[in-house]
Amino acid sequence: MWFMRQAGRILPEYRAIRQRLTLIEISKRPDVAVEVTLQPLRRMPLDAAILFADIMTPLLGAGVALDIVEGVGPVIESPVRDEAAVRSLRALEPERDVPYVLETLRVLRRELDPAQALIGFAGAPFTLAAYLVEGRPSRDFVHTKSLMYRAPATWHLLMDRLAELTVSYLRAQIAAGVDAVQLFDSWVGALSPDDYARYVQPYMRRIFTSLGPAGVPMIHFGVATSTLLGAMRTDGATVIGLDWRVPLDEGWARVGHGLAVQGNLDPVALFAPPNVLEAKTADILQRAGGRPGHIFNLGHGFLPGTPLENAIRLAEFVRDESTRFRADDPALAIFA
Ligand code: CP3
């Protein structure tokens, strides 16, 4: 069990640091980034820490002028909408361009308990492209999808560059000691299965094929992907993220039980009364059925305003229930 966006927004000790430093400043200071990454593990019985950075961090390192604006998200100074702009994106050399990320990971791996996993991450090419092309968060991705349809060669060049950047960034994170990596393809659910297959899937396959030999589990996360799961299962990831729109057992059946799944509590359930929160959580565990290969998580990250006490209640409930689940099953009792 871990939670997307477990660091930050829900923790007062994070907000106190954010009074003094911006998100980008925190990620460039390994001492502070390590502290912020560890904060949620002191509050909740989590099995993993996730690197504190942003999906835009490697683009910043590669020289893209951008800011992460509070309450808005990433904003790009000059949106990338033609071939010249794509050609001006340069490759990432992680040790030179984002040394602070690698240093943060090396310190974290030393400081964490060996039983706690360290998760590295990157934005997936479609989601990165959506920010680069739109220039800011978007609902309909009109510029992104019209680039895809109107100038497919430019689109493929952009995806090719972003896939290469992602592979070198994650390779460096693996070398720095992460135990698993997550590809955040938060906005890929905006695509039809046919568009996914044509414009995105070759690049996801390339990333998973390139990183596979490193031997760390690879989590492919997206939102609103129920119609894409059949395609995602063949792309080479070890774990598929499910959001709350698909019941966990149905999603897992679509992914196939040969792969692990992660999810899938609605982040809004944390605003519900305790009995509703617990019933929804118990339902997910029931649907997972004690089968190995379920990583409990939210279907997407914690939302702003999530009450911290509910997050703590949730984590403790999942820990207690899953211990009980394993204890009930003699085959799994050794994990209890
Ligand atoms: O705890 C963690 O999950 C680790 C750190 C983390 C951040 N961003 C820090 C952050 C991770 C894994 C991300 C990934 C990320 N960033 C994604 C993929 C996950 C998702 O939610 O789909 C995306 C789409 C982004 C881009 C981004 N950065 C958005 C949309 C925002 C929200 C803007 C806002 O203020 O609501 C950000 C800012 C951001 N990244 C915050 C944090 C903790 C917000 C708080 C702050 O400004 O301090």
Distance CA 152, CA 132 (A): 16
Asked about 81 being catalytic, the answer comes back as: no
Asked about 131 being catalytic, the answer comes back as: yes
Q: If you average pLDDT over residues 97-107, what whole number do you get?
A: 98
List, for residues 290-318, the tens digit of each pLDDT value: 999 999 999 999 999 999 999 999 999 99
SS3 state at 89: coil
Question: With left for phi above 0 and alpha for psi between -120 and 50, is residue 49 left, alpha or beta?
Answer: beta
Distance CA 326, CA 321 (A): 9
Q: Is pLDDT of 325 > 80?
A: no
Q: Which two tokens stand for residue 317?
A: 């409930």
Q: If you average pLDDT over residues 319-336, what whole number do you get?
A: 69
Q: How far is the centre of ligand 1, averaged over its atoms, from the C-alpha of 204 (Å)?
A: 21
Q: How far is the centre of ligand 1, averaged over its atoms, from the C-alpha of 135 (Å)?
A: 16
Taking the CA of residue 54 as reference, the ligand 1 atom at the shortest distance is 8
pLDDT of residue 336: 39
pLDDT exceeding 90 applies to what percent of the chain? 94
Asked about 106 being catalytic, the answer comes back as: no
Q: Is any atom of ligand 1 closer than 6 Å to the C-beta of 67?
A: no
For a mutational test of ligand 1's pocket, the pick from 10, 21, 24, 54, i.e. the residue with the most ligand atoms closer than 8 A to its C-beta, is 54
Asked about 205 being catalytic, the answer comes back as: no
